[in-house]
């Protein structure tokens, strides 16, 4: 039995029945990391698991991968950027503190696009991650390392962050389950910021049950996060019922237009048929401002990124470089040299885009207008959720593309998130579950969206679909 291929729920059952020990589970995962990660490159560093569960009773001693933008005390955390080289946080992110309290075992730090800027995990200073289903293809991004670790059996489950689809799109590309919770449902304290009004930490897992289990651990109010929502956290496992009778699900016509691959569309339409047979009621709905979502997102997100990344200057932590010859002044020269060497091309591109949209004379034309469009997009969802319990769409318009295929075409890369970014702009929860494969054997993802703090609805729909299809049982062959 390959323990590393089991779900967290299955592993916890084995441990409870004394058919496996936490040490055996960790060893199985670590063997897989040593065997496969030279090729997959899901991790940028593997942790020393000794004492990992000393902070609490080991009630959930399940090996987990942590994205490289979530702070762990004393563990180098770089956002896969040279600018944070050598930075070791003096504190744990709230989600890490909660995991430690359950006895979680941290396998390692997973690869990502630098500062979460990307949709392919090619923009990492450590090099790209490869998709376990096809090593010539990307795993998606920016949480591609976390998704590849789970799909490649190098972690039982993992944490990612989602600013515009960075959990859901890689989950779709890698054939696993990815959840973006409602904004404020999970604390962002200790998450190194990309765009503070959009970022959200969430689980990447092998099935929907594990997603509900992991969200239950990390969710909840946190006084250290001013955007954390003080709302009760239910037992999400109670929503795992194989029943959607009477649920009203909307199909937005704007999501099934030119640009979607035929095989993706067929898989999603087949998913609708499955849920209809299970009793769900479908109707076509409209989200009329969807066409402006990409433009609004890349104004709001880059503006916030420009502001957040201004703190990286080589003074207090991370990389520091001084040119050999003085050009302007020692301080200015150090700033310029450090930032030029420290940031990669995509980070520089987004900093410049954001700085431009915030600059004097352009603030009203770009950033303020972007915020207004964001409000219209949120109102579109509010209107649909007055008559529907959930919305169903593709997660991504394509399956995983070749490594290097979109590297020279940033706009094409940005369009990879066309179906996911609206959930971040409106703050609603969304989940991606596997819904089939292309003729090339590449996973396809189905996205379910619900109203704010209605993660239970997501789990109910996703679990019902999962229990009536075979896709979640498929495993990448390594």
What are the chain's domains? 3-244+395-403+428-473 (3.90.1300.10)
Concatenated DSSP letters for 255-270?
GSSTTS-HHHHHHHHH
Residues 428, 449: Cα–Cα separation, whole Å: 7
Q: Which residues contact 331 (CB under 8 A, 6 or more apart)?
A: none
Cβ(399)–Cβ(120) below 8 Å: no
What pLDDT does residue 54 have?
42
Q: Output the six-digit token pair for 249.
A: 């699900």
* pLDDT tens digits, 392-449: 999 999 999 999 999 888 888 888 899 999 999 999 999 999 999 999 999 999 999 9
Q: Are 68 and 101 in contact (CB under 8 A)?
A: no
- How far apart CA 107 and CA 110 sit, in angstroms, is 9
Q: Helices 8-16 and 22-40 sit at what angle, rounded to 10 degrees?
A: 150
The model's pTM: 0.96
Cβ contacts of 137 within 8 Å, gap of 6 or more: 130, 131, 173, 400, 401, 402, 403, 442
Nearest Cα residue to 200 out of 174, 234, 237, 228: 228
Model pLDDT, residue 41:
98
- State the number of CA atoms in the 13 A half-sphere of 72 facing the CB: 28
For residue 45, the cross-strand partners are 109
Catalytic residue among 120, 124, 142, 416: 142
Does 67 qualify as catalytic in the annotation? yes
Instruction: Find out whether 160 and 44 touch, Cβ atoms under 8 Å.
Output: no
pLDDT digits (tens, 9 = 90+) for 35-80: 999 999 999 999 875 444 444 456 899 999 999 999 999 999 999 9
Determine the pLDDT at residue 1: 64
- Give the model's pLDDT for residue 117: 97
> Of 166, 41, 10, which is closest to residue 478 (Cα–Cα)?
41
Residue 55 is predicted with a pLDDT of 46
Which residues of the chain fall short of a pLDDT of 50?
A: 50-56
| Residue in 115, 83, 250 with CA at minimum distance from that of residue 196 | 115
Q: Is 187 in contact with 134 (CB distance < 8 Å)?
A: no
Q: Which residue shows structure tokens 């090593």?
A: 135
Cα diameter, the chain: 72
Catalytic one of 28, 119, 146, 166: 166
For residues 284 and 385, what is the distance between their CA atoms, to the nearest angstrom?
13
pLDDT at 51: 40
Reference 252, options 291, 278, 280; nearest CA is 291
142 catalytic, yes or no? yes
Residue of 28, 67, 180, 451 marked catalytic: 67
**pLDDT for the residue numbered 52:** 45
Q: Strand, helix or coil at 107? A: strand
How many CB atoms lie under 10 A from the CB of residue 124?
26
Q: What is the 3-state secondary structure (H, E, C) of 315-350?
A: CCCCCCCCCCCCCCCHHHHHHHHHHHHHCCHHHHHH
């Amino acid at each position: 039995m390959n323990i590393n291929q089991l779900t967290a729920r299955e592993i916890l059952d084995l441990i409870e029945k004394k058919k496996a020990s936490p040490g055996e589970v960790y060893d199985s995962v670590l063997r897989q990391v040593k065997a496969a990660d030279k090729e997959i490159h899901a991790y940028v560093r593997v942790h020393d698991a000794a004492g990992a569960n000393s902070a609490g009773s080991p009630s959930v001693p399940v090996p987990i991968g942590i994205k490289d933008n979530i702070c762990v005390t004393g563990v180098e955390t770089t956002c896969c950027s040279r600018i944070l080289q050598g930075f070791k946080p003096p504190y744990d992110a709230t989600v890490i503190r909660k995991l430690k309290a359950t006895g979680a075992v941290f396998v390692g730090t997973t690869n990502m696009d630098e500062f979460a800027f990307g949709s392919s995990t090619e923009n990492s200073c450590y090099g790209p991650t490869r998709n376990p289903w096809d090593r010539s293809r990307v795993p998606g991004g920016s949480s591609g390392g976390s998704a590849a670790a789970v799909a490649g059996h190098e972690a039982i489950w993992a944490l990612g962050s989602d600013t515009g689809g960075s959990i859901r799109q890689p989950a779709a590309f890698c054939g696993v389950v990815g959840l973006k919770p409602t904004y404020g449902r999970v604390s962002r304290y200790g998450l190194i910021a990309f765009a503070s009004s959009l970022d959200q930490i969430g689980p990447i897992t092998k099935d929907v049950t594990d997603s509900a289990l992991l969200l239950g651990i990390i969710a909840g109010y946190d006084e250290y996060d001013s955007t954390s929502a003080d709302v009760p956290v239910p037992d999400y496992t109670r929503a795992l019922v194989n029943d959607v009778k009477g649920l009203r699900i909307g199909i937005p016509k704007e999501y099934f237009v030119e640009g979607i691959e035929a095989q993706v569309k067929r898989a999603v339409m087949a998913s609708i048929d499955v849920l209809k047979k299970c009793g769900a009621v479908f109707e076509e709905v409209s989200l009329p401002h969807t066409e402006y979502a990409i433009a609004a997102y890349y104004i709001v997100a880059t503006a916030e990124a420009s502001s957040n990344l201004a703190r990286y200057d080589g003074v207090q932590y991370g990389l520091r470089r001084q040119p050999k010859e003085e050009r302007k002044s020692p301080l200015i020269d150090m700033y310029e040299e450090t930032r030029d060497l420290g940031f990669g091309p995509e980070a520089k591109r987004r900093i410049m885009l954001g700085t431009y949209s915030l600059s004097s004379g352009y603030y009203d034309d770009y950033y303020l207008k972007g915020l207004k469009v964001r409000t219209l997009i949120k109102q579109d969802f509010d209107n649909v959720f007055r008559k529907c319990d959930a919305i169903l769409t593709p997660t991504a318009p394509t399956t995983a593309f070749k490594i290097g295929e979109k590297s020279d075409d940033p706009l094409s890369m940005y369009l990879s998130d066309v179906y996911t970014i609206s959930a971040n702009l409106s703050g609603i929860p969304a989940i991606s579950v596997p819904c089939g494969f292309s003729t090339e054997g590449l996973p396809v993802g189905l996205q379910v969206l619900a109203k704010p703090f209605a993660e239970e609805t997501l789990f109910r729909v996703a679990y019902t679909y999962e229990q009536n299809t075979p896709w979640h049982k498929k495993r990448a062959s390594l």
